[in-house]
Amino acid sequence: LNMVRMRAIENHRWVLRATNTGVTASIDPYGHVVEAAPRHVRTSIRAGFGYEHDLTFYAAYGDIFAYLCAVVTTVALGLTLRRRFTVN
């Protein structure tokens, strides 16, 4: 359930989770469990949800920050190695 809560926060979306043996739940875009059914109980829940139109930075641009960090690290490492092995 915690991973689903993180996906709701990451994408700023409502998540309706339906399971046979786990926790069936409605999770808001901020990761709060609005309604949930207990584990291993045959039941249903009546839960409200909404539709969000906005995108988070991660949903819009994905891993661009990670790629940018990799490029900066590679350039810094290259410059360091170049200075170290340059003959004066």
Instruction: Parse the chain into domains and list their residue ranges.
Output: 1-54, 61-88
Cβ-based neighbours of 52, under 8 Å, separated by 6 or more: 12, 13, 14, 29
Q: What tokens appear for 66 in the block?
A: 């990670």
Report yes or no: 8 and 41 within 8 Å, Cβ to Cβ.
no
Given pLDDT bands bounded at 50, 70 and 90, which one contains residue 20?
Answer: confident
What is the Cα Rg of the chain in Å? 22
Give pTM, 2 decimals: 0.63
Which pLDDT score, from 0 to 100, does residue 67 have? 96
Given pLDDT bands bounded at 50, 70 and 90, which one contains residue 88?
Answer: low
